[in-house]
Structure 1
Amino acid sequence: MSHRTLGKEETRGNGAGKDAGTPRSGDGLSGGHPLPPPPPAHRYIGKSVLRTDGWEKVTGAAKFVDDIEFGPSLLHAYVVESPYAHAEIVRVDTAEAEKVPGVVKVVTGRDFTQKFGLYMKDRYIFARDRVRFVGEQVAAVIACDPKTAMRAAKLVKVEYKELPPVLDPVKALDKKSVLLHPELGEYPHVPWFFPKAGTNVAHWRKTRKGDVEKGFKEADLILEDTYTVPRYAHCAIEVHGAVGLYDAAGRLTVWTASQSPFTQRHGFAQALAPLGISHKDVRVVTPYIGGGFGGKAGVSMEIIGAALATTVQGHPVKVMWSRAQEFYNTYQRQGVVAKLKLGVRKDGTITALEHTLYWDAGAYVEYGANVVNAVGLSATGPYRVDNVKIDSVCVYTNLPPGGPYRGFGYSEFGFGLESHINRMAAELKIDPVDFRRRNAIKGGDTLCYGAHMNPCGLDEAIEKAAKEIGWGKKTKPKDPRKARGKGVVCFWKAPAMPPNASSSAFLKFNEDGSLNVLISGMDMGQGLLTICAQIAAEILSVPPAKIRVETPDTDRNPYEWQTVGSHVTWGCGNAVKKAAIDAREQIFDLVQRTLNLERDTLYLEDEKVKCRTQPDFGLAFKDFVIAGIEAEDHTFKGGPVMGRGMFMPEFTSAISDPETSQGGHPNVHYTTGAAGVEIEIDRETGKVKVLKAVLAVDLGKAINPDLCRSQVTGGLLQGLATVLYEDMRFSEKGKLLNANFSDYKIPTALDVPDEIVPILIEVAQPDGPFGARGVGEHTMIPAASMIANAVEDALGIRIKSMPITAEKIALALKKAG
């Protein structure tokens, strides 16, 4: 694979300010002394420094949950699962299992009566009255070793009364459909969710802008169609796991493989409150995690480890999912049926959009409903549309719970929208890239919920992606049995987060001038620890190699809502920046009051405090950040320097008119971009080979360009996997049939595109750290739609359902004759 970078990263509107560690004032001369030469605008920001966690990971020193030793008192748990997608639980008999030597405890739904959930509390830790998907946990056996726990679990007898399963989200809306949650109206939920009691609708996000009927009347062309996207698995290399310990002092500690340590602590405390456990009693420790992609966000199986620990006080209890369980009893990416109606004028201007999306949210929607909510606010895509009607409907089914997945619903709606745009452009005989240029959103434009678009470089992204893919230039394959095609699409995404989601950071100096930075954002491979080190380094002039950023421990590290939504570079990065500035200001205060130097003449450089008016002055951090500074009277001033920083987007609001979504400001900003692909297809087999993929993304500021390029490569590959290979199959009874990597295909090194070109565009985010905004999820969003468009370009066939496998292409070709 060839992997090169196009263009030079240049920051616009993000010059080095006082926070970059440079002198903060001056006119070339001060007190008769010439100023030292100014340092570079950024010493560490915008540089591809080595990962701070790289050595630990490549040497195998990094510890994951399953690597942590707990000694001989460790117990193991095995879960009893439902074989039915929908059934009443008549009776649970644990007598035989309890007799097995080595069994310590058997736990059922009778032991835990509280529901849990992040946005809506709609599920029990163990099913109590009915099961709602195949694999749902009904009981658990705790034993001295894993084999004994598994053997005893098979002896737990559960009597069920099978009920008809509901497996299709559209059919679930029928008034005659089985009601999956009769108590829906009683479930606690956040105020921006709108469940419909007495139906299978868990949430309905409505967005209205302008006059849609008028917009369609003004259109010269209207196209309506339906697009289908199935479910997908996250396929992180590390499976879910948790170890819980409830000690004699009443302290519950849970070690988890998680994107959300503090959110889990909150969920555990709420669910276990009947046992007298409160937030101060719960500690969550999260070491390195082997990938997440959204699947380890919120609270899923981890609560089992927490709950089981309370039943065997003094003994740690370990619960590790198998690869099969990783497929069917963690969050899956939700399926969607999207109905699109788009109106345009002859010149290509969009006049109206009606977008109705029916989401297969699964048995429990406590997190997945927020994906539905996010899409309902953004399903226009990155385009100016004056007249909008969006209905994003979250529907209960008897399939595994849906939840967050990289892209948070944007890839799913983008598949239909970007396909639709190409078809309309063809009808109007307008180049599809020109169509996108004409309608591309710009900074200051009014969004569909009434707020205004942040500064963005979408126009630049379209131009650069189209140019690099060679748009408008046909290439011919050497083999006449093959055909080539290209596709160019646009994408955008906003962080999906509550209006009060916050980030915080602690920073402390050590005796040698090195730093420890404490955050609770998770590094899942995207490089957050390195980014935070670079931000602190830039402010304090300490090289990133001398900064250690610690993984989360809710007892030691400060609060972070979750690592989701591609927001932690922005949110957590801002908190680290503020903590570094706080430490810097303490240093300046100390030097001013102890050494009587003018504060405005002080600056930091090369791990020292320096002075513009005294070129020979340089006080090394290691000489005072712990021990303080000795004054003229031989007393010491100062003490350990510790910084604190907190960031909350105080301009946001999730409360708006439930019928229109007007009146709030639910999204903090959007990251935008464009992508292109060239493919070659075997006409006989339908097999697709990706020759070249290009992705141009406006990330505000690339704090570490190499890490950003890696996100482009990894995201594109994950997106290409969903459209070309991955294919989740369920039986008519709702059982997942291919819960393994033999039957659920993901790409290998042989499937990597011949060439991947990342293009990093930098239109600064005004409130981002050094202008940065997130990019982690965005890089997979365009993959499905650009492949669909390239297939049509190559073969003249439009495939409107994912995945676009070789088999599906071959059948479509055969049908087309």
Structure 2
Amino acid sequence: MGKNFARKSIDPVGESKPRIDAREKVTGEGLYADDIQFGNKLLHARIKRSSYPHALIKKVDISKALALPGVKAIVTGDDFEGYIGLYLKDRHIFCRDRVRYVGDPVAGVAATTEAIAEQAVALIDVEYEPLVPVFDPEFGASPQAPLLHPDLGQYAVASFILPEAGTNISNHFKIRKGDVASAWGKCKAVIERHYRIPHIQHVPIEPHVAIAKVDEDGEITLWDSSQSPFAQRDLIAEALGVSQSNMRVIAPLVGGGFGGKAGVSMESLAVAIATKVNGYPVKLLLTREEEFYTAFVRQGMVAHLKMGCDESGKLLAMENTFYWDGGAYTEYGVNITRAAGYSCTGPYEVPNVRADSYCVYTNHPVGGPMRGFGMPEMHAGLEQCIDDLARQIGMDAVEFRRRNCLKANSILPTGGRMHPTGLSECLEKAAEAIDWGEKSPPSAPNKRRGKGLALMWKAPAMPGNAGSSAWIKLAEDGVLTVGIGAQDLGQGAFTVIAQMAAAAFGVPYESVRLATPVDTRYSPYEWQTVASRITWSTGNAIIKAAQDARHQVLELIAKAWDESPDDLDIVNGMVVSYKSEREIPVKNFAVQGLPKEGGKGWMGGPIIGHGNFIPSDVTGLDPETGQGEHAVVHYTTGAQAIDLEVDLDTGRIEILKGVAAFDVGKAINPELVKAQMEGGLVQGMSSALFECLKLKDGYVQNPSFVDYRIATAADIPKIVQSILVEVPQDDGPWGARGIGEHSMVATVPAIANAIYNAIGLRFDGPPFTAEKIYLAMLDAGIVKGSK
């Protein structure tokens, strides 16, 4: 299906990128130029997928397909017994006993051409026995729902994930803080709301593609555009029962990911097929339709929110319940559920909290991580409730937030204390940027104008031992080569890494190059490029590696000059002495070393610095109360504000101005930070106004860009303003925190609050399409017409 067109990666930061040599470029693009790298040995794979949302597999007949000329191998669930999964190992590579969503892989074919592989897939006969499906997470969590994973109690699971055996609940995270029951009687106002957040797709421009090869000696190599090459290596190797040292992942430039290329989705299929055709590379490329059906989606969610405050506007209690539609297998979904649980109050100090966050199996596509990791979904309703609660007691929404938002040493829902944060400043600056409190006229008589804002917070959702490492080696010309395991998804990670390495060692930015593509055999370990943690976590490892190399340089020169290292420095690639005023270029000794005095041999030698970083103070949480001293490493906080117009004739929304203000700790590269803030706002706007994966009885109804709309350049607000607030993070490189995901978290509620300000209507969830807005205005009598 479709042709294999050669593609070219476009660097988002143009000429400012670190240099990558020609050999590395060929390797990096080899995934697409497979006719060059693999020649005519390349086999093409296609997958036989379930057409039922839930069914037992009675029989898989591959005899006709095997007889087709050009077919080299066919694999089924009978070939692979192991389970795979990041936090909860709940799925086989190929289905063995039952299928759980439309698109579940049942068999895989490797053939000499893609057309033959497609033909073979059609010849595979699968006999099913349909089972009762589950399509609603709230129902799925009830005792009445059929069990989708009867063996849930036997699955291997991370210690901080709490599945409930005998149910469809793959994780149940709880917060129990204070006395919620007694707090309601002290409240002047109480708000209860229900919201339903739809599934959305990551829709990267480049679909998933992977090439796998197993050598004659059994060593496995996987080439794929991955956010998680080390995690893929570990998970696939474990599922296949092979050593991680015999599994190698090479990850060229990713392009778009947004979380959809994290972990393992389709990559294990290519590897499994390749194990049956040793010596032949096997390529699996998802069609766009398969992207919608079978790649990770952002989970749907049903939220029940209740909150109350006293007469002064002080929040007293929250009681929130989240039902996450984890899909057929919960992969990252269980940790998204956890993240929503420990962040359940939003960025507010609330003394009494009760929260239940459930990840629920359904017969929908597999829920995975997407930009924001559950925070956009959770904040969507919560921040609308904050507006409504303020209105109910007659208080301005900005003032209400000012009184309640987190500050340094505020008590968090998990019982710990908030680190220093610039959230209040973000709120003030965002409100000021849209002239909050001033009534602005609409541009035409048939339009209504409204303003809205919302706050957010987000922590890196990761295990406490998620580590980073780096190495730095000096070349004969004084250039630093930096080894990393992190990926650049367009967020500018490679640029910032090069900047940090240059600054920490003491050379110009132009004197740094990165050892890419990431190759798990040679690159230093990186947990994953997720959680907006690279600048912070990898940055710390880079600084340590640079300091290690720098220490070696200064010790060597101090010995050669008989001076103290404390009197030496490295500036623009020159070692200088503030005591003797001597200087020497680093390139003069970086590899060859220096001669000893009197010609008595040499000292020094090739210089390589090493560094690693792992969070040292994250503590566990009580499984019954969610209380603990230090649940996460830190929070990034911020605000977004929207000025928009609603067309009364069509219901169309036009965003006149979008404002983003975030506390980033320290902006290592201010322009890249602003670009992330702008891009996140537009992506958040896309999910607010357009995006919805329409599912009917488990079948995707809009699996193409014809029917699944995303924001384009034509939809971008006329004005987008990015505001940097910098309150340093104590353990961040130069005080930096992440910003990649945060910039789309508050967009949906900010737009929803602006819509309410314009026309006085609330909706139970996005997208706020023109049709939905117009029909609601008709029902409310705001406009007159006929449906």
- Residue 614 of structure 1 and its aligned partner are, at CA, apart by 2.0
Is 1:116 the counterpart of 2:84? The answer is: yes
Q: Using a 3 Å threshold, how does the CA distance of structure 1 residues 256 and 468 change in structure 2: closer, same or farther? A: same
Task: Give the secondary structure class of the aligned counterpart of 1:66.
Answer: coil
Q: Using a 3 Å threshold, how does the CA distance of structure 1 residues 573 and 269 change in structure 2: closer, same or farther? A: same
Q: For each residue in 1:36-61, what CA deviation from the matched residue of structure 2 results, as whole angstroms up to 9, or x when unmatched?
A: xxxxxxxxxxx9992327999xx999
Cα RMSD of the aligned pairs, angstroms, is 1.6
2:169 aligned residue (201, 208, 224): 201
Is 1:667 the counterpart of 2:635? The answer is: no
Task: Give the letter aligned to residue 180 of structure 1.
Answer: L
Specify the alignment match of 2:98 in structure 1. Answer: 130
Is 1:419 the counterpart of 2:384? The answer is: yes
Measure, in 1, the Cα distance between the counterparts of 2:770 and 2:21: 40
What is the correspondence of 1:162-177 to structure 2 with a 5 Å cutoff? 162-177=130-145
Q: Identity across aligned pairs (percent)?
A: 46
Measure, in 2, the Cα distance between the counterparts of 1:495 and 1:327: 27
Q: Using a 3 Å threshold, how does the CA distance of structure 1 residues 53 and 602 change in structure 2: closer, same or farther? A: closer
- Residue 255 of structure 1 and its aligned partner are, at CA, apart by 0.6
The two structures have a TM-score, normalised by structure 1, of: 0.92
Instruction: Check conservation: 2:70, 2:112, Cα contact below 8 A.
Output: yes
Is 1:533 the counterpart of 2:505? The answer is: no
Task: Give the letter aligned to residue 81 of structure 1.
Answer: R
- Residue 552 of structure 1 and its aligned partner are, at CA, apart by 1.0
Task: Give the secondary structure class of the aligned counterpart of 2:634.
Answer: coil
Q: Using a 3 Å threshold, how does the CA distance of structure 1 residues 61 and 552 change in structure 2: closer, same or farther? A: closer
Task: Give the letter aligned to residue 590 of structure 1.
Answer: L
Measure, in 1, the Cα distance between the counterparts of 2:645 and 2:20: 36
Q: For each residue in 1:423-446, what CA deviation from the matched residue of structure 2 results, as whole angstroms up to 9, or x when unmatched?
A: 111111100011100001012212
Specify the alignment match of 1:358 in structure 2. Answer: 323
Is 1:71 the counterpart of 2:39? The answer is: yes
Indicate the structure whose relative CO is greater, using CA pairs within 8 Å and at least 6 residues apart.
1
Specify the alignment match of 2:533 in structure 1. Answer: 567
Which deviates more, 138-147 or 660-669?
660-669
Task: Give the letter aligned to residue 524 of structure 2.
Answer: P
Measure, in 1, the Cα distance between the counterparts of 2:243 and 2:20: 37
Measure, in 1, the Cα distance between the counterparts of 2:717 and 2:432: 18
Measure, in 2, the Cα distance between the counterparts of 1:531 and 1:748: 27
Specify the alignment match of 2:8 in structure 1. Answer: none
Specify the alignment match of 1:3 in structure 2. Answer: none
What is the correspondence of 1:22-41 to structure 2 with a 5 Å cutoff? none
Specify the alignment match of 2:187 in structure 1. Answer: 219
Q: For each residue in 1:271-320, what CA deviation from the matched residue of structure 2 results, as whole angstroms up to 9, or x when unmatched?
A: 011xxx20111111001011111111111111111211111111111111
Is 1:437 the counterpart of 2:402? The answer is: yes
Task: Give the letter aligned to residue 551 of structure 1.
Answer: P
Task: Give the letter aligned to residue 528 of structure 2.
Answer: Q
Specify the alignment match of 2:412 in structure 1. Answer: 447
Q: For each residue in 1:703-757, what CA deviation from the matched residue of structure 2 results, as whole angstroms up to 9, or x when unmatched?
A: 00111011011111110000101121112x2110111100000111110100000
Measure, in 2, the Cα distance between the counterparts of 1:401 and 1:229: 16
1:280 aligned residue (245, 249, 258): 245
Task: Give the secondary structure class of the aligned counterpart of 1:633.
Answer: helix
Task: Give the secondary structure class of the aligned counterpart of 2:41.
Answer: coil
Measure, in 2, the Cα distance between the counterparts of 1:683 and 1:725: 18
1:724 aligned residue (686, 689, 702): 689
Task: Give the letter aligned to residue 442 of structure 1.
Answer: K
Specify the alignment match of 2:10 in structure 1. Answer: none
Specify the alignment match of 2:480 in structure 1. Answer: 515
Instruction: Check conservation: 2:197, 2:377, Cα contact below 8 A.
Output: yes
Is 1:102 the counterpart of 2:102? The answer is: no
Measure, in 1, the Cα distance between the counterparts of 2:551 and 2:142: 63
Task: Give the secondary structure class of the aligned counterpart of 1:716.
Answer: helix
Specify the alignment match of 2:605 in structure 1. Answer: 639
Specify the alignment match of 1:542 in structure 2. Answer: 507
What is the correspondence of 1:547-626 to structure 2 with a 5 Å cutoff? 547-549=512-514, 550-615=516-581, 617-626=582-591
Instruction: Check conservation: 1:293, 1:405, Cα contact below 8 A.
Output: yes
Measure, in 2, the Cα distance between the counterparts of 1:748 and 1:522: 25
Specify the alignment match of 1:296 in structure 2. Answer: 261
Is 1:807 the counterpart of 2:771? The answer is: yes
Instruction: Check conservation: 1:377, 1:448, Cα contact below 8 A.
Output: yes
Structure 2's unaligned 5+ residue stretches are: 1-12, 782-787
Instruction: Check conservation: 2:344, 2:413, Cα contact below 8 A.
Output: no
Q: Using a 3 Å threshold, how does the CA distance of structure 1 residues 645 and 146 change in structure 2: closer, same or farther? A: same
What is the correspondence of 1:154-169 to structure 2 with a 5 Å cutoff? 154-169=122-137
Task: Give the secondary structure class of the aligned counterpart of 2:551.
Answer: helix
Measure, in 2, the Cα distance between the counterparts of 1:428 and 1:309: 64
The two structures have a TM-score, normalised by structure 2, of: 0.95
Instruction: Check conservation: 1:365, 1:396, Cα contact below 8 A.
Output: yes
- Residue 64 of structure 1 and its aligned partner are, at CA, apart by 6.6
Task: Give the secondary structure class of the aligned counterpart of 2:767.
Answer: coil
Instruction: Check conservation: 2:20, 2:513, Cα contact below 8 A.
Output: no
1:762 aligned residue (683, 705, 726): 726
Measure, in 2, the Cα distance between the counterparts of 1:249 and 1:54: 32
Measure, in 1, the Cα distance between the counterparts of 2:575 and 2:141: 67
Task: Give the letter aligned to residue 124 of structure 1.
Answer: H
Q: Using a 3 Å threshold, how does the CA distance of structure 1 residues 136 and 567 change in structure 2: closer, same or farther? A: same
Q: Using a 3 Å threshold, how does the CA distance of structure 1 residues 372 and 53 change in structure 2: closer, same or farther? A: farther
What is the correspondence of 1:10-89 to structure 2 with a 5 Å cutoff? 50-52=16-18, 63=29, 65-68=31-34, 69-89=37-57
Task: Give the letter aligned to residue 650 of structure 1.
Answer: S
Q: Using a 3 Å threshold, how does the CA distance of structure 1 residues 282 and 501 change in structure 2: closer, same or farther? A: same
- Residue 467 of structure 1 and its aligned partner are, at CA, apart by 0.4
1:735 aligned residue (699, 705, 708): 699
Specify the alignment match of 1:692 in structure 2. Answer: 657
Instruction: Check conservation: 2:28, 2:251, Cα contact below 8 A.
Output: no
Is 1:713 the counterpart of 2:713? The answer is: no
Instruction: Check conservation: 1:379, 1:410, Cα contact below 8 A.
Output: no
Measure, in 1, the Cα distance between the counterparts of 2:386 and 2:453: 11
Measure, in 2, the Cα distance between the counterparts of 1:48 and 1:352: 49
Measure, in 2, the Cα distance between the counterparts of 1:186 and 1:165: 22
Task: Give the letter aligned to residue 766 of structure 1.
Answer: D
- Residue 66 of structure 1 and its aligned partner are, at CA, apart by 2.6
Task: Give the letter aligned to residue 588 of structure 1.
Answer: L
Q: For each residue in 1:414-463, what CA deviation from the matched residue of structure 2 results, as whole angstroms up to 9, or x when unmatched?
A: 01110001111111110001110000101221211122212110011011
Measure, in 2, the Cα distance between the counterparts of 1:552 and 1:49: 21
Measure, in 2, the Cα distance between the counterparts of 1:366 and 1:154: 29
Task: Give the secondary structure class of the aligned counterpart of 1:154.
Answer: helix
Measure, in 1, the Cα distance between the counterparts of 2:44 and 2:367: 27
Measure, in 2, the Cα distance between the counterparts of 1:67 and 1:456: 47
Task: Give the letter aligned to residue 293 of structure 1.
Answer: F
Specify the alignment match of 2:757 in structure 1. Answer: 793
1:348 aligned residue (307, 313, 334): 313
Q: Using a 3 Å threshold, how does the CA distance of structure 1 residues 250 and 54 change in structure 2: closer, same or farther? A: closer
Specify the alignment match of 2:743 in structure 1. Answer: 779
Task: Give the secondary structure class of the aligned counterpart of 1:447.
Answer: coil
Specify the alignment match of 1:16 in structure 2. Answer: none
- Residue 347 of structure 1 and its aligned partner are, at CA, apart by 1.3
Specify the alignment match of 2:334 in structure 1. Answer: 369
1:752 aligned residue (690, 704, 716): 716
Instruction: Check conservation: 1:518, 1:551, Cα contact below 8 A.
Output: no
- Residue 478 of structure 1 and its aligned partner are, at CA, apart by 2.8
Task: Give the secondary structure class of the aligned counterpart of 2:110.
Answer: strand
Is 1:259 the counterpart of 2:224? The answer is: no
1:244 aligned residue (212, 221, 236): 212
What is the correspondence of 1:135-146 to structure 2 with a 5 Å cutoff? 135-146=103-114
Instruction: Check conservation: 2:639, 2:660, Cα contact below 8 A.
Output: yes
Q: Using a 3 Å threshold, how does the CA distance of structure 1 residues 53 and 737 change in structure 2: closer, same or farther? A: farther
Instruction: Check conservation: 2:507, 2:573, Cα contact below 8 A.
Output: yes
- Residue 62 of structure 1 and its aligned partner are, at CA, apart by 6.3
Instruction: Check conservation: 1:507, 1:518, Cα contact below 8 A.
Output: yes
